[in-house]
């Protein structure tokens, strides 16, 4: 089992699954790094990240979905297994759960979403 990784946005674990599940591992953007450049330095450049600095973070899938819903320009969809319909647009996970009859764990999803939303608002 992999070690716990906390989401920098909601503060909860990025590990999904039940405590006794053998395949528990972090999901989302895990231990990602972004770096500021020469022209980024705030107050001495045009951006907000300092030159020579790196910023490491993790975001759980629920916070990624929440961030995607905040975007003015929607994320582009792709499917590495095929089956994506031409022109299909991104929808928030909650909308997909409500609209798709084949999704079987709706109550579990709603409970986890509520927990993540509450954690985000406590930290925001």
Residue 88 is assigned to a structural domain of this protein: yes
Q: How many domains, in total, are found in the chain?
A: 1
Q: What is the pLDDT of residue 45?
A: 84
CA distance 1 to 87: 39
In a domain, 19, yes or no: yes
H or E segment and range at residue 98: helix 93-99
Question: Phi/psi at 99 (nearest 5 deg)?
Answer: -80, -30
Quote the percentage of the chain above a pLDDT of 70. Answer: 91
Task: Look up the domain containing 43 and give its range.
Answer: 15-123
Whether residue 63 contacts residue 120, with contact meaning beta carbons closer than 8 Å, is answered with yes
Does residue 7 belong to any structural domain of this protein? no
Residue 89 lies in a domain: yes
Stretch among 14-18, 41-45, 85-89 having the lowest mean pLDDT: 14-18
Q: In this structure, is residue 6 part of a structural domain?
A: no
In a domain, 33, yes or no: yes
In this predicted model, what pLDDT tens digit does every residue of 56-110 receive, in sequence order?
A: 999 999 999 999 999 999 999 998 888 888 888 999 999 999 999 999 999 999 9
CA distances from 73 to 56, 58, 69, 70, 89 (A): 24, 22, 10, 9, 11
């Amino acid at each position: 089992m992999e070690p716990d990784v906390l989401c920098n946005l909601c503060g909860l674990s990025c590990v999904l699954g039940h405590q006794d599940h053998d395949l528990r591992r972090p999901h989302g953007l895990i231990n990602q790094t972004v770096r500021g450049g020469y022209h980024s330095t705030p107050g001495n450049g045009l951006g907000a990240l300092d030159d020579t600095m790196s910023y490491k973070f993790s975001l759980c899938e629920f916070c990624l979905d929440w961030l995607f819903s905040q975007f003015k320009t929607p994320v582009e969809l792709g499917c590495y297994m095929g089956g994506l319909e031409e022109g299909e647009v991104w929808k928030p996970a909650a909308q997909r759960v409500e609209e798709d009859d084949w999704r079987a764990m709706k109550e579990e999803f709603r409970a986890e979403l509520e927990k993540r939303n509450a954690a985000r608002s406590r930290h925001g």
